[in-house]
Amino acid sequence: MNTEVSPVVTVGNSPLLLFLQSASTQKATSPEGDRETWGKKIDFLLSVIGFAVDLANVWRFPYLCYKNGGGAFLIPYTLFLVIAGMPLFYMELALGQYNREGAATVWKICPIFKGVGYTVIVIALYVGFYYNVIIAWSLHYLFSSMTRELPWLKCHNAWNSANCTDPEHINGSVLGNGTYAKYKITPAAEYYERGVLHLHESKGIQDLGLPRWDLTLCLVVVVFILYFSLWKGVKSSGKVVYITATMPYIVLFVLLIRGITLPGSMEGIKAYLNIDFNRLNNLEVWIDAATQIFYSLGAGFGVLIAFSSYNKFNNNCYRDALLTSTVNCVTSFFSGFAIFSVLGYMAQKHNVRVQDVATEGAGLVFIIYPEAIATLPGSTFWAIVFFIMLLTLGIDSSMGGMEAVITGLTDDFKILKRNRKLFTFATAFGTFLVALFCVTNGGIYVLTLLDKYAAGTAILFGVLIEAIGVAWFYGVDRFSEDIERMMGFKPGLYWRLCWKFVSPAFLLFVVIASTLTSGGLKYDDYTFPYWANILGWGVAMSSMLFVPFYAIYKFFSVPGTLKEVCI
């Protein structure tokens, strides 16, 4: 049971320790208490791995590795993993486990920073608005795959344009100076943009249209899956991840075995692993490695804090941090073999270079890879297997984000905790309503805007403030003592140095790099209007402003003079 912290901790008449060091009198949380815990340790591990291993592991890391020097990219990637990724991962797991609170109330350790808890909760909510839509796309493709001939194999469908060109008529000479990945008149490309998104019926973000009924139904299914996975807390979600967290590994292995049997697959793998140390002279490579390791591990979204808050008090979260962060990064690297074996096959089939078919994001998993699958014997089976993998990759990551919102707010507002099932439904239904904007004809523009601004600079800013709050205000020494109370040993000097100096410096570097490299928003050849970028920054600021506003509120709500508060 958590012991209550005195409402005012005074030094003379000073209330300083109330909101900077109020946890100095807090005792170690007892392993007993009324807080729900994971049914089994494996439930927690699979939930963390399932959250961290998401679609980006498949559609972003392999391409970044290929683009940034192949094997050479692993040098900055591994460096940032060791000096920042793992320390931040460890910090969040320990923070949640010791205090047994969600992302907001965990800041009883240093109340002036509670605003950052609300920041990450709001960001997790924003991400759910559009991430669920990507899962709905996967579900749509899964349903569409259940046919004898895949609908994106040939032209002459109702959604195809007059310019649609069958893949067998496209080769290096036809492309000229272009690349196959950008050749948007193949059946697979037109199925994605015209058959699924209906992008051709929108003139831009100012012309959204009504929600598409088929995508809306898929979105309804996704939201119901999320609700019934989360409505009973970790007792229910901890069982769902047995499927959603393990299925992608089975499918990736199966796809890899099939991929390496295809002609040209070895050329694709060679291109993926090709080592070019000269690329390390480019600052962009280091920025890509830093941002990828940060987003890949998922620190700062409040999910790790929420998940670990349901651990038993003496759980070895140090070992968990090392294990799960390593599994996540190895998965990213491994997925590249499954992806590039197929890209090598595509390159040989069309007599082009691997770089002409290599791409990232939705274009890879909804256009290039499905097109390759459509040419294989038993294509229906391979398509179903692939989209089941995408579906499970997305579901458990979305579950993690929604759990961060639910845990964070139910811990803060007891009325919500008493009505968790109703609040879970309200949260799921709320994300569904906003997500409807993303399943309109111009929905991809809304999704792109949210992806850029809702979880871009804002989440980097949030976790930077979080790291500063823990390391510099609550104090590394006090935090280390908390860990010793849980596990019987203090973190080594390396971890303490990372928390206090290296990780904040890393985050500051990523924040600055993200800001400086952020230009006007674009989707392919479409440039967003100026007002859309202003709206995007408004979305970003709506979460970030919780940090200063709550600090100001706390500052003025605590009695005492300015000198007494600030000394």
Which strand (E) or helix (H) includes residue 202? Answer: none
Residue 26: which pLDDT band, with cuts at 50, 70 and 90?
Answer: very low
Query: What pLDDT was estimated at residue 411?
Result: 94
Q: Is 310 strand, coil or helix?
A: coil
Residue 518: which pLDDT band, with cuts at 50, 70 and 90?
Answer: confident
pLDDT at 4 over 50: no
What are the structural domain ranges in the chain?
16-566
DSSP 26: P
320 is in an annotated binding site: no
527 strand-pairing partners: 522
b/e burial code for range 56-82 (CB count within 10 A of at least 16 → b):
bbbbbbbbbbbbbbbebbbbbbebbbe
Share of the chain above pLDDT 70, in %: 91
Name the pTM for this structure: 0.89
Estimate to the nearest angstrom the gap between the alpha carbon of 331 and the chain centroid.
Answer: 15
Please, what is the average pLDDT of the chain?
A: 87
Residue with tokens 């845990």: 407
CB 305 within 8 A of CB 124: no
Residue with tokens 């928003």: 521
393 is in an annotated binding site: yes
Architecture category of domain 16-566 in CATH: Up-down Bundle (1.20)
Query: What pLDDT was estimated at residue 178?
Result: 62
397 is in an annotated binding site: yes
Q: Name 528's Cβ contacts closer than 8 Å, sequence gap at least 6.
A: 204, 205, 445, 448, 449, 520, 521, 522
In tens, the pLDDT along 244-269 reads 899 999 999 999 999 999 999 999 99
Query: What pLDDT was estimated at residue 562?
Result: 45
Structure tokens at 101: 């609170």
Q: Left (φ > 0), alpha (ψ -120 to 50) or beta: where does 186 sit?
A: beta
160 is in an annotated binding site: no
pLDDT at 564 over 70: no
Lowest-pLDDT choice from 13-17, 131-135, 454-458: 13-17
543 is in an annotated binding site: no
- Give the integer Cα–Cα distance in Å for 523 and 93: 36
Query: What pLDDT was estimated at residue 265?
Result: 93
**What are the distances in angstroms from CA 100 to CA 44, 64, 155?**
14, 37, 56
328 is in an annotated binding site: yes
Query: What pLDDT was estimated at residue 315?
Result: 93
Q: What length does the chain have?
A: 567
Q: What is 473-520 written as a DSSP string?
A: IIIHHHHHHHHHHHHSSPPPHHHHHIIIIIHHHHHHHHHHHHHHT--S
356 is in an annotated binding site: no
135 strand-pairing partners: none
